[in-house]
Structure 1
Amino acid sequence: MKRILVIVMVIGTLGVAAWFGWAAFSKRAIESWFAARVAEGWQVAADDITVTGFPLSFETRLAGLMLADPATGLAWTAPDFTLRYPSWDLSRITAIWPQSHMIASPDERLTITAEALFSILDVTPSARMALAGSQTRMRGLAIASSQGWQSQLAEGQIDMIRQDGADARYDIRFSATDLVPAEQVAKLLDPGGILPPAIPVVSATALIDFDRPWDIGAIEALRPQPRRIDLTEARAEWGALTLRLSGALDIDAEGRPTGEVAIRAQNWPEMLAMAERAGLLPPSLRQTAESALGFLAALSGRREDLDVTLRMDQGFVFLGPLPIGEGPRIRLR
Structure 2
Amino acid sequence: MRRLLVLLVSLALLWCLWWAAASYGLRQGVTSLLQDRRAAGWQAEARLVQSGFPLRLDGRLEEVALVDPTGGSGLTADHVALSAPAWWPGFVTLDLPETPMTVTLSGQPFRLRAQDARMNLRLHPGTALELESATVEGRQFLLSTAQGALLSGDRASLVAVQQATDPVYDLRLETDAVTPGDVIRAMLNLPADWPRAFDALALRGSVGFDRPVDRAALDGVPPQPRLIAVDSLDVRWGEIQVGGEGRVTIDADGIPTGTVTLRLARWQRLLDLASDTGMLGPAPRNQAQLLMGGLANIGGQDGDLEVTLAFADGQMALGPIQLGPAPRILLD
TM category (shorter chain) comes to: 0.7 to 0.9
The 1:263–1:64 alpha-carbon spacing in structure 2 relative to 1, beyond 3 Å, is same
Q: CA deviation at 1:162?
A: 2.4
Residue matched to 1:11: 11
Residue matched to 1:239: 238
Q: Give the SS at the match of 1:199.
A: coil
CA displacement 1:271-314 (0-9 Å, x = unmatched): 33455578876642322432453455466674322222233568
The 1:80–1:188 alpha-carbon spacing in structure 2 relative to 1, beyond 3 Å, is closer
Which range moved further: 127-136 or 66-75? 66-75
The 1:54–1:279 alpha-carbon spacing in structure 2 relative to 1, beyond 3 Å, is farther
Residue matched to 1:229: 228
For structure 2, list consecutive stretches of 5 or more residues without a partner in the other structure: none
How many residues in Structure 1 have an aligned counterpart in Structure 2?
331
The 1:20–1:66 alpha-carbon spacing in structure 2 relative to 1, beyond 3 Å, is same
Q: CA deviation at 1:233?
A: 1.6
Which range moved further: 274-283 or 9-18? 274-283
The 1:89–1:220 alpha-carbon spacing in structure 2 relative to 1, beyond 3 Å, is same
Q: CA deviation at 1:198?
A: 0.6
Mapping of residues 165-314 of structure 1, within 5 Å: 165-167=165-167, 169-189=168-188, 191-210=190-209, 213-216=212-215, 224=223, 226-250=225-249, 259-274=258-273, 283-294=282-293, 296-297=295-296, 302-311=301-310
The 1:276–1:206 alpha-carbon spacing in structure 2 relative to 1, beyond 3 Å, is farther
Q: CA deviation at 1:248?
A: 2.6
Q: d(CA) in 1 for partners of 2:263 and 2:303?
A: 11
Q: d(CA) in 2 for partners of 1:183 and 1:171?
A: 33
Q: CA deviation at 1:231?
A: 1.4
The 1:218–1:175 alpha-carbon spacing in structure 2 relative to 1, beyond 3 Å, is farther
Q: CA deviation at 1:155?
A: 0.8
Which range moved further: 104-113 or 14-23? 14-23
Mapping of residues 18-37 of structure 1, within 5 Å: 18-37=18-37
The AA in structure 1 aligned to 2:19 is W
Q: CA deviation at 1:71?
A: 6.7
Q: Give the SS at the match of 1:204.
A: strand
Residue matched to 1:114: 114
The AA in structure 1 aligned to 2:76 is T
Which range moved further: 127-136 or 152-161? 127-136
Q: CA deviation at 1:201?
A: 1.4
User: What TM-score, normalized to structure 2?
Assistant: 0.83
CA RMSD of aligned residues (A): 3.4
Which range moved further: 75-84 or 202-211? 202-211
CA displacement 1:73-131 (0-9 Å, x = unmatched): 42111211122111222221112112222221343011111012112211134555331
For structure 1, list consecutive stretches of 5 or more residues without a partner in the other structure: none
The 1:305–1:228 alpha-carbon spacing in structure 2 relative to 1, beyond 3 Å, is same
CA displacement 1:111-154 (0-9 Å, x = unmatched): 11101211221113455533121122121111112465521121
1:55 aligns with 2:44: no
